[in-house]
Amino acid sequence: MRTSGGQRVTPPSPDSKTDALRQKGCLHPHPERVTDELFASSEFFDPRDLLQVKYEMLRRVREDGHSVSQSAAGFGLSRPSYYQARKAYEEGGLPALLPKRPGPRAPHKLSVEVVRALREALAEDPTLSPQELVQLVEKRFGLSVHRRSIERALARLEKNARHEQVAGGRQDRGCQGACR
């Protein structure tokens, strides 16, 4: 145990780090395959930490002149993984090596056209329920969407409209774009 300002600080248990890495999507699926000497010679280098493993793999090739095949194998990864990591790192630096959130990044069924139709329907009849809007989308566009998807899309529209009003009001008071 270390002390910090008179208080005892317990280092995180190996299991808590594993849990944290898993939760963030950064747990190496095969840490036992990491055979690179850095990870064998120092506790600082953790073969469970996929972000650290990928970065060190890239560094080995770029700075130490190791071959891609040799480096990928030494870090328990494939050659395609090396090239994907290199591209991500070149485009976005270290944060780009973090895993992306799985699933769709944006609403894929509720196109601008569908949302426009929903907005028009609500303008005509503000009492329409989410379930009635689901039926409207299915009837008019042949799409099966969940009522929560519609509620979220409409909430985003409302939020964006409020944001534009606030930003517009700031600009009118002389901010000239600096307030955004």
Residue 106, pLDDT score: 62
Reported pTM: 0.53
Residue 160, pLDDT score: 78
| Distance (Å, whole) CA 177 – CA 171 | 6
| Distance (Å, whole) CA 47 – CA 24 | 16
Tens digits of residue pLDDT in 34-66: 999 999 898 899 999 999 999 999 999 999 999
Task: Please give the residue that has the higher pLDDT: either 100 or 58.
Answer: 58
